[in-house]
């Protein structure tokens, strides 16, 4: 039997009036090291499995600040066989992330890695609505297969709208169910870790960033709006995190 679960977070200047989770999505208030509130997502059971439908909603209201992280990586696993004509075909899992950042508000969305285990099939969709004076730091990291195994099928899409206008929209597909060439030299080149860091905020209107290389396997690209995107590939999760963390700690932003 598949799991349907939603976690919801609402942050205001006064705190966290809404903090609820279901099934595998447990959310806990944790000690903040910076301004505003901090919430940690704690996996309460193995998920997502094939057929599961999971969602996280986070709303940061005007003037509030929120950091969301996770206690552990999310592992997409093979699921139960779907019914119907071909009962041997596992049903894909879905993971929806819906984020809203108000005026003069700030959201740091910093989950742990998403691991695509062999045999899994996950469709992940992240949507962000960012107010004109809101600020967003969003990190995504995908690890294609556990140690020594082939990856599952993973499709992710990230859409960011700022002030009701498109800022960023990108879809990535990896694994045996993805179009051919995903592992070639023009895409991953044999690497098994891929990630991106998106930073958007009004400070980029005053001083837009310039494109630059961040080593052999990472690049910083200004968005067509007030923000930047850092894209990186790496051989493993540790190398990928080190690259993205260096950008977060860099004084340029």
Q: Is 251 exposed, middle or buried (0-12, 13-18, 19+ CB in 10 A)?
A: exposed
Instruction: Supply the DSSP symbol for 24.
Output: T
Strands 25-30 and 74-76: unpaired
Question: What was the pLDDT predicted at 82?
Answer: 47
**Cβ–Cβ under 8 Å, residues 149 and 119:** no
For residue 166, the tally of other CB atoms under 10 A from its CB is 11
Backbone angles phi, psi at 228, to 5 degrees: -140, 160
Question: What was the pLDDT predicted at 85?
Answer: 42
**Stated pTM of the model:** 0.91
Question: What was the pLDDT predicted at 33?
Answer: 82
Question: What was the pLDDT predicted at 131?
Answer: 98
Rg (CA), the chain: 18
Question: What was the pLDDT predicted at 130?
Answer: 98
Q: Nearest Cα to 105, choosing from 199, 20, 13?
A: 13
**Cβ–Cβ under 8 Å, residues 99 and 58:** yes
Question: What was the pLDDT predicted at 66?
Answer: 98
Cα–Cα distances (Å) from 222 to 74, 198, 231, in that order, read 29, 10, 11
pLDDT in tens, 71-120: 999 999 987 654 444 445 568 999 999 999 999 999 999 999 999 999 99
Domain spans of the chain, in order of start: 4-80+89-202
Positions in the chain short of pLDDT 50: 82-87, 251
pLDDT in tens, 141-164: 999 999 888 999 999 999 999 999
Question: What was the pLDDT predicted at 87?
Answer: 46
Tokens of 25: 């999505």
Tokens of 92: 């894909």
Q: Which residue do the tokens 């005007």 mark?
A: 62
Question: What was the pLDDT predicted at 88?
Answer: 52
Strands 135-144 and 114-116: parallel
Q: Nearest Cα to 150, choosing from 128, 177, 187, 130?
A: 177
């Amino acid at each position: 039997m598949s799991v349907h679960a939603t976690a919801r977070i609402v942050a205001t200047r006064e705190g966290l009036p809404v903090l609820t989770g279901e099934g595998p999505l447990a959310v806990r208030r944790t000690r903040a090291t910076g301004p505003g509130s901090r919430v940690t997502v704690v996996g309460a059971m193995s998920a997502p499995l094939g057929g599961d439908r999971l969602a996280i909603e986070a709303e940061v209201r005007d003037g509030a600040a929120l950091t969301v992280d996770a206690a552990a990586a999310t592992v997409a696993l093979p699921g139960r066989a779907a019914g119907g004509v071909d009962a041997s075909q596992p049903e894909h899992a879905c993971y929806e992330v819906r984020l809203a950042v108000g005026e003069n508000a700030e959201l740091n969305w910093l989950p742990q890695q998403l691991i695509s285990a062999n045999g899994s099939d996950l469709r992940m969709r992240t949507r962000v609505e960012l107010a004109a004076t809101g600020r967003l730091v969003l990190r995504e990291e995908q690890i294609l297969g556990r140690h020594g195994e082939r990856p599952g099928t993973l499709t992710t899409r990230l859409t960011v709208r700022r002030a009701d206008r498109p800022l960023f929209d990108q879809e990535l597909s990896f694994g045996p169910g993805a179009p051919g060439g995903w592992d070639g030299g023009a895409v991953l080149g044999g690497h098994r870790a891929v990630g991106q860091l998106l930073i958007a905020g009004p400070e980029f209107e005053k001083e837009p960033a310039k494109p630059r290389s961040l080593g052999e396997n990472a690049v910083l690209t200004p968005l067509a709006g007030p923000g930047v995107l850092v894209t990186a590939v790496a051989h493993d999760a540790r190398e990928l995190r080190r690259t993205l963390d260096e950008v977060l700690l860099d004084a340029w932003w």
